[in-house]
Chains A and B, each alone.
Chain A
Amino acid sequence: MTVLETILISSFYLFIALLISIQGYTGLRTLLFGIALPEEAVQDTAVRGIRRNYVLLTGGFAIVIGAACFTVTRDQTTVWSLRWWGAAILLLMIVSVFAVRISRMSAQRLKTARGWQVALQTKRAANLMVGRTQRSVLGYWWYLAHVAVMMVGIFFAVTRWNEIPQSFAIHMGPNDSPDYFINKSVWTVFMMNIVQALMIALFAGYNRMISHARTSLDPQDREASLRKQLKLKKIHSITAWGISLLGIANLGLLQAVILYGWKLNLLLRFNISFVVVFIITLIGVLLYLRFRGLDQHRDVPSQEERHWKWLGSIYANPEDPALFVLDRYGFGWTINMANPRGKIIAAASITVLMTAVLIPIFSFR
């Protein structure tokens, strides 16, 4: 594996480790690993301790696992390294699940011990002005840009079909010489375009989900919470659009490098820039949402803890007609799994995502 690939993969691992570790600090401050606390408990030293212990536990494991993986994969091939790092990420997620479980139990014990009560909100508010919540996300026309990029790739592949060699390299070894080859066929030439199409479907679907997610207002401050909700949706929509466009362009570039022998350097520089932009954008958006208080919104109808299963990560409320509700982490939305349509959408999304990821992996063996 080349130095550049090592850097790419390990920084991706670090990014995942970071996201997993800061879970205790994102989203509603009055929520401690899914356990609802009253306002006055937020600054409590014991509460802060639980959050800190979680970071130390998962962060510590992340560093240990990461260092071990790094030393093991130093001299391995790319395929094996990817497997090792993939296993490391999986292991880290398992550790995090245990850490969340432990933190949740501590939080529950603390809440009972201190006798903290959280009153359930029994008021509901909604906006009757239809015009205000229309166009809360980017229009679908914006995704024509993605389609255009994909079409360019397809057009080039079709018109230059005869110039594509019968067998082309899909990976460069450490000596800058190609080490994996696959044969030319309709499937292998257009594979990247298929993945692009799947990604467009996924992100356009995400955009649609945001527009259909409920706008739950805070009865205490209806106007402000409405404006914040609309802003949150807009930010998510624009970010998803931008990131997915860069990703699709990245895939197009990858296709060009593989098929027409474009400069590998160009691809790598784009890859690194893309990863950097992706990470910075995600962290930037998270911080911006926190500073503007846009992630502190309480989705009033879904407050009851009994509806949040599996350590408070899955929402299933048969009495709630909504399909998409604000996630408790304050970042994004989640599907109401008690709704049959919700189950279908969840299954479909996972299928599309898995297909998009597995196609390249299983073809390029």
Chain B
Amino acid sequence: MFIELDLQSETPIYAQLVDQIVEGIASGALKPGDPLPSIRNLSEDLGINLHTVNKAYNLLKQEGFLQVHRKKGVIVQPDGMPGVTEEFEEKLRQQLRSLAAAAAVRGMSEEAFAQESKSVYRDMIMNRGGEQR
């Protein structure tokens, strides 16, 4: 699986890293237990600061998507992904608010908005083996 960063994007680099790794897990490209490159290797390959990659990995570890393995280094969580917490539902609602508002203002119907959400969700877990509960 490849990671691609846009240095000129408004999204900070560490956030791009976090998003793409989570997308990778969702689509099944990254399977539970798969080792990820070390912080040093990934930062060297991308040519970005070590601390940026460190921040991204730490965030993912905190959320429970990654785990530090004794021998393999950083791996994708093998013992089951974190479930839907209240925190996550709150975050989901927060981020959907602005999109829903913009869609409503522009005249998009509720069904169309739901349809878009569904198809994006399906895209994310398209490659079989995606994390589904």
Asked whether any CB of chain A lies closer than 8 Å to the CB of B46, the reply is yes
- Minimal beta-carbon separation of A136 from chain B (angstroms): 12
Q: Which residue of A lies closest to B48 (CB)?
A: A124
Asked whether any CB of chain B lies closer than 8 Å to the CB of A130, the reply is yes
The CA-CA distance from A63 to B124 in the complex, in Å, is 65
Interface 1/0s, chain B 16-50, versus A by CB < 8 A? Answer: 00000100100000100011110010111111111
Q: A-side binding surface: helix, strand, loop or mixed?
A: loop
Asked whether any CB of chain A lies closer than 8 Å to the CB of B3, the reply is yes
Asked whether any CB of chain B lies closer than 8 Å to the CB of A128, the reply is yes
Asked whether any CB of chain B lies closer than 8 Å to the CB of A300, the reply is yes
Asked whether any CB of chain B lies closer than 8 Å to the CB of A298, the reply is no
Q: Which residue of B lies closest to A226 (CB)?
A: B2
Q: Which residue of A lies closest to B8 (CB)?
A: A122
Asked whether any CB of chain A lies closer than 8 Å to the CB of B6, the reply is yes
State the interface size on chain B (CB cutoff 8 A): 25
Other-chain contact of A127, B2, B6, B44, B49 (Cβ < 8 Å): B2
The CA-CA distance from A302 to B45 in the complex, in Å, is 11
Q: Check A123–B37 contact: CB distance below 8 A.
A: no
Apart from A125-B2, A127-B37, A128-B37, 19 more pairs, CB < 8 Å: A122-B8, A123-B6, A124-B7, A125-B46, A126-B3, A126-B42, A127-B2, A128-B24, A128-B30, A130-B36, A216-B47, A219-B4, A222-B2, A300-B47, A301-B46, A301-B47, A302-B47, A319-B49, A321-B48
Q: List 20 A-B contacts (CB under 8 A).
A: A122-B7, A122-B8, A123-B4, A123-B5, A123-B6, A124-B4, A124-B7, A124-B47, A124-B48, A125-B46, A126-B45, A127-B37, A128-B3, A130-B35, A301-B47, A301-B48, A319-B49, A320-B47, A321-B47, A322-B47
